[in-house]
Amino acid sequence: MLNFRNVNILFLALLALTIGADIRFGIAWYVYLILPFLYSIILFYGCYFVHSNFFIPVICSLKTDEKVVAISFDDGPVAGNTGKILQTLKDNDVKAAFFCIGNRIADNEDVLKQVYNEGHLIGNHTYTHHFWFDMFSSKKMLSDMQLMDELTNETIGKKPKLFRPPYGITNPNLKRAITNGNYIPVGWNARSLDTVIKDEEKLLSKMMGKLRPGAVFLFHDTSDATVAILPAFIKYIHTNGYQIIRPDKMLNLQAYA
């Protein structure tokens, strides 16, 4: 199993073998550069691919043959778009998950209350969603995450238990923060890239192609293209015989602490 602990053991063993070979036979100096290069590539993979489970197990989908999927939205609540998304979900009797950024709650308390009151899940997506969040100490990460919890609790009377890492990046510090905060990390296996893809037809086609049993779809409240294609996407899911289930219920997870 490829994880942080096993990779460290493997590369320490390879380093010992390399040193032993150098003492006994003599090897070129550049051979010593190969190990850290390979090690850094594996670490990059582990950090930047949320489904890798490299540092900590992250739940990204459901292993099933049943035609069920879940839809999630990151980076809200935002004025305008979140409300439009909620209306589409209501029109189609669909429940979803909203992984919210804490510092966007202050001006959108009514929107957050609407998300909760209409039966959707609210998850933790940190307070700041800082660009360098993955460089924070574990203590600073946890403080940031807990601040989001506090604002959510003040608004809806609930503390999120499900946590989604900003940008999907994980590392040892985040593992400690998640463990110490008793969160359940949740990712995705069907990423829309709707923060980059602005072409509505291209976005819809991309997400249609990712329809699989047990899929967890990732969209963003901030994307106008997502707002535009969501009705057609939900219709496509239903037309193909799939049910859309709230992520915590599909994955059998505890939603709130």
Q: Torsion angle of alpha carbons 71, 77, 83, 86, nearest 10°?
A: 20
Shared domain check, 137 and 25: no
- What pLDDT score was predicted for residue 37? 96
Q: How confident is the model at residue 1 (pLDDT cuts 50, 70, 90)?
A: confident
pLDDT tens-digit series, residues 135-186: 999 999 999 999 999 999 999 999 999 999 999 999 999 999 999 999 999 9
Confidence grade of residue 31 (pLDDT, cut at 50, 70, 90): confident
102 and 44 within one domain? no
Which domain, by its residues, includes 117? 68-250
Do 36 and 85 reside in the same domain of the chain? Answer: no
- DSSP letter, residue 166: G
Give bridge partners of residue 245 from the DSSP assignment: none
Cα separation, 90 vs 110, whole angstroms: 17
pLDDT recorded at residue 184: 98
Q: In this predicted structure, what is the pLDDT of residue 81?
A: 98
* Phi, psi for residue 222 in degrees, rounded to 5: -75, -10
Are 58 and 185 in contact by the 8 Å Cβ rule? The answer is: yes
Q: Are residues 98 and 197 in the same domain?
A: yes
Let me know whether 42 and 77 are in one domain.
Answer: no
- End-to-end alpha carbon distance in the chain: 31
pLDDT mean over 110-137: 98
Query: What is the C-alpha separation between 176 and 126, in angstroms, rounded?
Result: 15
Number of domains within the chain: 2
Q: Could you tell me if 26 and 139 lie in one domain?
A: no
Beta-carbon contacts of residue 41 (< 8 Å; ≥ 6 apart): none
pLDDT per position as a tens digit, 183-231? 999 999 999 999 999 999 999 999 999 999 999 999 999 999 999 999 9
Across 99-111, average pLDDT: 96
Show the tokens assigned to 43: 């670490």
CA 10, CA 2: separation in Å to the nearest integer? 10
Instruction: List the CATH number of the domain containing 207.
Output: 3.20.20.370
| Confidence band, pLDDT 50/70/90 cuts, at residue 123 | very high
Note whether 44 and 72 are same-domain residues.
no
Q: How does the average pLDDT of the chain come out, rounded? A: 97
**pTM for the model:** 0.94
Region 127-139 average pLDDT: 97
Contact 222, 75 (CB under 8 A): yes
Pair (170, 81) in one structural domain: yes
Whether 87 has a pLDDT exceeding 90, the answer reads yes
